């Protein structure tokens, strides 16, 4: 069974952390992953840096740019992660844009992910209908879960289609904007979380965008299975390097 599927079956709220591979320093990727697991994070999204990250806010864009300047590439990331399963047991997801994966070769990319022990992918610019028609069989061949995003503006029909072709969780974007942390969620977002919960989808939802602290984590997980923290963690890395990860996670849980 895929590690994501196993994790989602646990009777707990999922804390997922996102960071850009190769940031703040090129060789920080694996130590950060190991530290996050050691401090109780349930799932990690490893950002594959890209030069034109359209869905990302300024904090993640800056970390992605710095990682590219540090020399991070798809192949270097795979090389860094080749022995990751000797020390890390929790689910790992690569989040990135489709262009670098196309350049690498989709089947070769998926094969490499499977060899390393990557459990899934999040590709914001790969439309779900294109995935279903052209790539789903390849992902399934290599045991990879592909995670799709929904927003408050996504129609019920499309949400149900995404649910029908998904086999992990649905990434529920908290608002129709780019990534970034915020102070809290208002009534509009709370209503959105509740509306999606009442759709009774077969895949659980994990909320991303705007989660930065214990308050927003608890708000997001009132109706959803878990929440993803990205920008706030990257800001923490910017200020502290790869140190004090225990403090950061401890303030969320």
- Which residues are annotated as catalytic? 45, 56
Q: Under DSSP, is residue 176 helix (H, G, I), strand (E, B) or coil?
A: coil
Q: Are 234 and 20 in contact (CB under 8 A)?
A: yes
Place of tokens 């403090």: 247
Task: Tally helices (H) and strands (E) across the chain.
Answer: 13, 9
Cα separation, 74 vs 17, in Å, equals 20
**Encoding tokens for residue 240?**
């502290």
Query: d(Cα 119, Cα 18) in Å, to the nearest integer?
Result: 15
SS3 147: strand
Bond prior to 24 in cis (omega within 30° of 0): yes
């Amino acid at each position: 069974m895929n590690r994501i599927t196993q994790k989602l079956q646990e009777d707990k709220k999922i804390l997922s952390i996102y960071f850009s591979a190769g940031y703040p320093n090129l060789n920080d990727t694996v130590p950060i992953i190991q530290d996050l697991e050691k401090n109780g994070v349930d799932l990690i999204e490893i950002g594959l840096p890209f030069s034109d990250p359209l869905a990302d806010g300024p904090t993640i864009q800056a970390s992605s740019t710095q990682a590219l300047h540090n020399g991070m590439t798809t192949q270097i990331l795979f090389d860094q992660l080749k022995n990751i399963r000797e020390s890390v047991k929790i689910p790992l997801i690569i989040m990135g844009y489709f262009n670098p994966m196309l350049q690498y070769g989709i089947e070769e990319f998926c094969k490499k992910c499977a060899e390393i022990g990557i459990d899934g992918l999040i590709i914001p610019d790969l439309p779900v209908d294109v995935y279903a028609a052209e790539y789903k069989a390849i992902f399934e061949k290599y045991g990879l879960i592909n995670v799709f995003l929904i927003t408050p503006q996504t129609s019920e029909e499309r949400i149900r289609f995404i649910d029908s072709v998904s086999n992990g969780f649905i990434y529920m974007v908290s608002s129709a904007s780019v990534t970034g942390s915020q102070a809290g969620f208002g009534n509009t977002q709370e209503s959105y979380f509740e509306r999606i919960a009442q759709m009774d989808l077969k895949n659980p939802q994990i909320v991303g965008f705007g989660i930065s602290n214990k308050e927003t984590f608890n708000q997001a997980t009132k109706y959803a299975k878990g929440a993803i923290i990205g920008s706030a963690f990257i800001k923490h890395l910017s200020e502290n390097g790869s140190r004090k990860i225990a403090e950061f996670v401890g303030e969320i849980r």
